[in-house]
Structures are given as structure tokens and as C-alpha cells.
Amino acid sequence: MKKLIFILSCLAVFSLSSNAQKFITKTGHIKFYSDSPAEKIEANNRQVNAALDAATGDFVFKVLLKSFEFEKALMQEHFNENYIESDKFPIATFLGKVNNIKDVSVAKDGKYDVVVEGKLTIHGVTQQVTEKGSFEVKQGKIAVNAKFNILLSDYNVKIPGAVTNNISKSVEITVDLNLEKFASSVN
């Protein structure tokens, strides 16, 4: 039901442009990686919802935080209960725009460097972000790739003093999305 509401919300945003080329996924992948002298922590989430309006550059994604999978169950428990507080803050979202969408041709296979700007919300805190990434158009689909770092303190994620050396203050985020054209019978 939440996925349906998200997709309907995305379509409402995109409905302003009747000839828009819309691309979506419900199985995107986001990975985060923390490397400290004491421990490396990695988690993957393959249930990322995302939508792109290739005509306007509007770009959104939503991540259910409890869907991150860790190598160790205890890490997953600590992530959800102590750090990200996923019962209180169940999702992370990005709502923004591809600044140079005019440089991307969804009708022509190729790799395009993009700059995405918008509001990233994690742990109930929203920050304005600008990140570089790439779109690879192949046979009418778009592969989205980006890698960037965030500071946990920017999103009020607190690390207890006892484990402060086990968790890096900066976390690397990798985004891999395979967007497919959304066929709508409403247009």
C-alpha cells in the first residue's frame, strides 16, 4: 500500500507535464558503507522506490530504512533501534531535480554525467544536497549511479561514546537504480 501511495504521489508531481517521459523502479539499490579503524560496516537495501520525469528532471526516491540488510544481525538491530531509530523515522527520501536534464537524451543510448540537487531527508532531518552521478541510457532504460558521503551529525544521528571509534562520522552512500519507462493509460 505504501508503494502505491508513493507511486501515485510521484505521478501527481509529474502530471504537470502531459508529454513527460516518466521512468520508475520499485527495486532500486542503495548501499551504505562506514569504514573506521575498528570496523567496516556495510548494508544494502534493494527495495528502493524511485521516479524520474525525463522531460523536467524531477527526481524522487524513497527508502524504507528497516529494509537495509547487514552482514551481522546485531549491527542491523543497533542501526534500527539505536542510531537511525527506524520506528520513529521509518523512511529516508530525496525530492529534487536533475539540473542538467537537457544534456540527457533518453532516446539515444549513451552515458551522461548529471548533477542532482534537492532535499535529502534522513532521521527526520532535511538537508539541501547537490551530488554528481551518471545516467546510462540503454534500450529505453536508464541506469542511475551515484556515490557520495554524508556526515551522520548533519542528520542528528548520534553515536554513543562507547562505540564512537567503531563507526565513521562520515558514511559513503552508493545509489544504483534501473529505471524503466512508466506506461500510463491516463495520458
Residue 184's pLDDT band, with cuts at 50, 70 and 90, is low
* Confidence band for 4, pLDDT divided at 50, 70 and 90: very low
- Looking at residue 155, its pLDDT comes to 96
**Sequence-ordered strand ranges (E) for 9-140:** 22-35, 40-53, 58-64, 69-70, 91-98, 110-122, 125-138
The mean pLDDT value of the chain amounts to: 88
- Flag whether pLDDT at 11 surpasses 70: no
Top-level CATH class of 2-10+22-181?
mainly beta
Q: Which residues pair with 134 in a beta bridge?
A: 113, 145
pLDDT confidence tier of residue 16, bands split at 50, 70 and 90: very low
Q: Distance between CA 52 and CA 154 in Å, rounded?
A: 26
pLDDT at residue 8 above 60?
A: no
Is 152 in a helix, a strand, or coil? helix
Kindly list the domain boundaries of the chain, sorted by start residue.
Answer: 2-10+22-181
Phi and psi torsions of 65, nearest 5°? -65, -30
Show the cell assigned to 73. Answer: 544481525
Quote the DSSP letter at residue 187. -
pLDDT tens digits, residue range 110-140? 999 999 999 999 999 999 999 999 999 999 9
Residue showing cell 542528520 = 155
